[in-house]
Each structure stands twice: as structure tokens, then as C-alpha cells.
Amino acid sequence: MSISLEIATKIIDAALARGRADKMKPLTAAVVDDGGNLKAMKREDGRGAAMRPDIAMGKAFAAIGMGRSTRALQVMAQQRPWFSASLVSVAGGGYVPVPGGMLILDNKGNVLGAVGVTGDTADNDEIAAIAGIEAAGLKTEA
């Protein structure tokens, strides 16, 4: 079962709301389905780098592509830098192993998709991503 547009939108809206509540910098959030296809994306108003949508998508795509959070992928990149660099190439540059990408799981642990959030610190991006997933009544591996 893949993620619906309704749930993807709910996750994104809740992630962005968490960012505003915590006074984070403007965020961009993307949700991909279980096949890594973009389901929904939003970018908040305000100053932000032009690459934010690509970074959010890269975090979500990395999480779904490797089946784990981008925080775990960051650890792997530090331990196995050549392998991680090859994944960037394989993914056509759309592989961002930096915290803020989380798997989206149903209550049985099935993978529905992934969310990627960027715009603030990587730790805050991850906080917003988790908040979005939880607000939709779903789980993540964190």
C-alpha cells in the first residue's frame, strides 16, 4: 500500500506547522511514495536557497531508496564514504544522507513512503519530519 495524496499533504502541513511553532527558518517538505515517486511538496514563503526542493526530495528519496532514515544514512556515509559517494552517483545526485529524511510507516510497520524536510538545521528538519508523520497518525523508524 502506498501513501495517499491526502495523507502526504497532512504530513507536509504538520511538518511545516511544527517548524513555525518552533520558530524554525522557512521549511520545504516533500513526500514520496513507496516507489520513490514524488507525491507532494510544499515550500514555505521566505528566504530560502533555490535548491531547497531538490534537497527535500533528495532526503525523502534517500530514505525510501535505502530503507532507513537519513540520519542512519549519514552514519553510514561517515563509515563508508566511497559507498555513499557511489549512491549519490547512482541516484543521479538525488541522494542526500543528512538528517531530515524519514520513512513513513503504517501501524503494522509497512513502508508507505518517506518524507524529506529541509530549511533549518538538520536536527530541526528531522524534528519537523517526525512531527508531520505523527500528526498523520503514522509511525517512523526513529
Residue 141 in any domain: the answer is no
Chunked into runs of 10 residues, the chain (142 residues) has average pLDDT values of: 95 98 97 97 87 96 97 96 91 92 97 98 98 98 74
Specify whether the CB–CB gap between 91 and 62 falls below 8 A: yes
Residue 99 in any domain: the answer is yes
Domain carrying residue 26:
5-42+52-135
| Predicted local confidence at residue 40, as pLDDT | 98
| Predicted local confidence at residue 13, as pLDDT | 98
Residues 34-69: pLDDT tens digits? 999 999 999 999 877 789 999 999 999 999 999 999
| Predicted local confidence at residue 46, as pLDDT | 86
Mark 30-49 as b/e (b = at least 16 C-beta within 10 Å). bbbbbebebbbbbbbeeebe
Residue 116 in any domain: the answer is yes
Share of the chain above pLDDT 90, in %: 88
Q: How many domains does the chain have?
A: 1
All three cell numbers of 11, joined, read 504530513
Residue 74 in any domain: the answer is yes
| Predicted local confidence at residue 142, as pLDDT | 61
